[in-house]
Amino acid sequence: MKLTDIYEFLDTIEVSYERFDHPAVYTVSEAKKLSPKMDGASTKNLFLRDKKGIRHFLVIVPQDKQVDLKELSSILEASRLSFASPDRMKKYLGIEPGSVSILALVNDQKKKVEVFVDNELWNSETILCHPLVNTCTLAIPRDGIMQFLENTGHTLRLVEVPVK
């Protein structure tokens, strides 16, 4: 799906959002410096795979949370988690590094990516996420995120993501 298509998709399924354009950001620290002040929970999105590369996970946490991948492996019942390669990111989410976002699940039409959201983050009324590119951020109400997931056929699982 192209950038313009994600907006059409959100509009079609009647998900409201506020759009904020900014310079490209690749890390949380860049996002803190270059993104405008937005109301909502800033996120860190981890696209992970298991040891054999059979299972793929999108784990979404508050932007400052330092995730313990070893402990997370146990919680997700997955063998040794590691970050997925840019090639896997392109194959499963249709995006480039720096643009990982829950909205990229629109490209996972085979439902191969498992979605986990940290409990702390899910308590927020509004979630901030990239619309398939890292030069823009959307503020979407939590119920809009649920509506998006229902329309893409993904199931969100809430977890207490362990910290280092």
123 burial (CB, 10 Å; 0-12 / 13-18 / 19+) is: exposed
Q: Indicate whether 108 belongs to any domain.
A: yes
Q: pTM for the whole thing?
A: 0.92
Residue at token pair 């996970």: 57
Q: In a 3-state reduction of DSSP, which class is residue 133?
A: coil
Q: Indicate whether 150 belongs to any domain.
A: yes
CB neighbours of residue 4 within 10 Å: 10
CA-to-CA dists, residue 13 to 9, 31, 143, 145, 151, angstroms: 6, 28, 12, 11, 8
Q: Indicate whether 163 belongs to any domain.
A: no
Predicted confidence band of residue 29 (pLDDT cuts 50, 70, 90):
confident
d(CA 114, CA 41): 21
- Average pLDDT across the chain, whole number: 92
CA-to-CA dists, residue 128 to 44, 54, 122, angstroms: 10, 29, 11
- Residues facing residue 153 across a β-bridge: none
Tens of pLDDT, residues 122-157: 999 999 999 998 899 999 999 999 999 999 999 999
Q: Indicate whether 162 belongs to any domain.
A: no
Instruction: Give me the number of domains the chain comprises.
Output: 1
Q: Indicate whether 91 belongs to any domain.
A: yes
Tens of pLDDT, residues 96-125: 888 899 999 999 999 999 999 999 999 999
Q: Indicate whether 7 belongs to any domain.
A: yes
Domain residues for the domain of 13 are: 3-157
Q: Indicate whether 102 belongs to any domain.
A: yes
Using the predicted structure, report yes or no on whether residue 89 has a pLDDT greater than 80: yes
Angle (CA) 153-25-140 rounded to 5° is: 40
Q: Indicate whether 164 belongs to any domain.
A: no
Question: Regarding predicted confidence, which is higher, 36 or 38?
Answer: 38
The domain that holds 93 is classified in CATH as 3.90.960.10
136 Cα distance to chain centroid: 14
d(CA 116, CA 147): 16
